[in-house]
Amino acid sequence: MTNSKSTSHSEWTDCQGGEISGLVQKLQNQRAVSRRTQITQSLTIAVGLLVAVGLGTLMLPSGEPNYGGIVCTDVIKNGEGYVLHKLEPELADRIKVHIDQCEYCQGKFAMLRKKLGIKPSKIDKQQQDDQADISLTTTIAALLLRQ
């Protein structure tokens, strides 16, 4: 069998000096430009995602109330030290402000005191009474406003 497509060497021309290396250089440059373009696009997408996540994080509520400059998780974590009066005064003051305003933590501290066998002090009882008065007043005001 013979190949029906025979190529004649006469159709070929000799390369000029440096022609092949010039083509290689041109292909390498195109590849480098393509790589830089891909990297730039990837970085642009990554930065865009980071900005979007950052903005989204700033816009969403944290989920934990922050009263007195401290969140519930940190209040609960320091709870035992607080009720046993073993905390630094600055931290204890922040926790007190938080507990005064946060019903969730008030309940947690009532359970913690019960667990530790600590009776609420007169101050704690007064605060609870004050909180109940405020809640009752708020409820009455809301009902009056609806009429």
Note the pLDDT of residue 33: 94
Beta-carbon count within 10 A of 106 CB: 17
Q: How confident is the model at residue 92 (pLDDT cuts 50, 70, 90)?
A: very high
Residue 44: per-residue pLDDT:
94
Mean pLDDT of the chain: 81
Whether 67 and 37 have beta carbons less than 8 Å apart is answered as no
The percent of residues in the chain predicted with pLDDT above 90, rounded, is 37
pTM of the model: 0.42
CA angle 36, 40, 46 (to 5 degrees): 145
Reported as a single tens digit per residue, the pLDDT across 129-145 is: 666 666 666 667 666 67
What integer pLDDT is reported at residue 113 of this predicted model? Answer: 87
pLDDT band at 1 (very low <50, low <70, confident <90, very high): very low
**Strand (E) positions, 36-141?**
66-67, 70-71
Q: Which residues contact 54 (CB under 8 A, 6 or more apart)?
A: none
Distance CA 72, CA 108 (A): 10
Give the mean pLDDT of 100-104: 90
Write the CA distances from 43 to 30, 40, 46, 49, 55, integer angstroms. 20, 5, 5, 10, 18
- Whole-angstrom Cα distance, residue 90 to residue 133? 28
Whether the predicted pLDDT of 36 surpasses 80: yes
Is the pLDDT confidence value at 147 over 70? no
